[in-house]
Amino acid sequence: MLEITYGKFLACARKRANMSQEMLAERVNCAVSTISRIENGIERPHIRLFEAIDEVFGGLGFEYDEIAMEGLFSCNRAKNELLVAIAKERSEVLERKIDKFHKYMECDNDEHIQHYVLGHLGITRHYGMPLEKFLEENITIYESVRSLPQLDEIHEMKLRKIEYVILWNMGKTYIELGELKKAKKIFIGLTKNPLNNHYILKQERFIGVAQHLAQINALEKNYDKSLEFLSYGLGELLESDSFKLLANHIDIQQEICRAKNDVDGINHIELFSKAARNLSDYFRDQNKR
């Protein structure tokens, strides 16, 4: 990354000039910690600081626009990775992605703050935040940038990716709180929303929506409708990369069992594969009726 390259060049130029970070910070009128963060590729200088540093050393061979554009791309990558981690609800990954995004976020940018706070909310929920409070905080985070839409209007809203994730959180929470009508409106709205056509983890989200709608209909004792959603979700799952990876893993495991004459292992794998095929065939038959 250019920020890291620029930082290394700055550190080399400073050392060649027998200048400490404290001395450079005084010359360009900034904090010593700022110089340290720039040299370590954690922070990029703003335009006035960039020009002041250039004046001290007579130029380092960089254009400011190059550094700023690279920083923008890095920030967007970190932001998308954070949303994926929030969606997958894995706290150990989420903590790392929060830290990575924090390196690039702008503290006076409302959208960046919204992503950062939502990430921390996911961690807090993992450690036992009450459902009602979690729901309230999701709404607050959404409304930190703009008003929450009516649930009947979700399908026609131009949603940002983070808004999709927040509504997803709300839908799941409404299910757990027993407010099934609200949950159904959210998930149906998300299914019909145009963002689904290019959303990160598109296939996984469709499978997840089908699963939640199946759960809602089962709780409402609408079992036929629930089976329809389950069949759709299973069909998508069988075509997903995750299922293909699992199938490949099982095939390799089976070869190892055969090579080691592990009869029990071979039998378990064959029983699992047969049950999976039978279940798949059953749901496909149900879908055709």
Domains assigned to the chain: 2-62 (1.10.260.40), 79-233 (1.25.40)
**CA neighbor of 114 nearest in space, from 149, 160, 47:** 160
Contact 103, 75 (CB under 8 A): no
Burial tier of 213 (Cβ tally within 10 Å: 0-12, 13-18, 19+):
buried
pTM for the full predicted model: 0.66
In angstroms, the CA 32 to CA 16 distance is 18
Assigned token pair, 248: 């490949």
> What's the sign of the alpha-carbon dihedral 112, 30, 17, 65?
positive
In angstroms, the CA 121 to CA 16 distance is 46
Say what the pLDDT of residue 120 is.
93
**CA neighbor of 106 nearest in space, from 84, 132, 79:** 79
In angstroms, the CA 275 to CA 271 distance is 6
Tens digit of pLDDT per residue, the chain (289 long)?
A: 444 467 888 888 889 889 999 999 999 999 999 899 888 877 778 888 888 988 888 877 677 766 555 555 567 778 888 988 888 777 888 999 998 888 778 777 888 899 999 999 999 998 899 999 999 999 999 999 999 999 999 999 888 889 999 999 999 999 999 999 999 999 999 888 876 555 545 666 777 888 899 999 999 999 988 888 887 777 777 776 667 777 778 888 888 888 989 999 889 988 988 887 787 677 667 656 6
Burial tier of 253 (Cβ tally within 10 Å: 0-12, 13-18, 19+):
middle
Task: State the distance between the two ends of the chain, measured CA to CA, in whole angstroms.
Answer: 56
Q: Which amino acid is at 131?
A: L
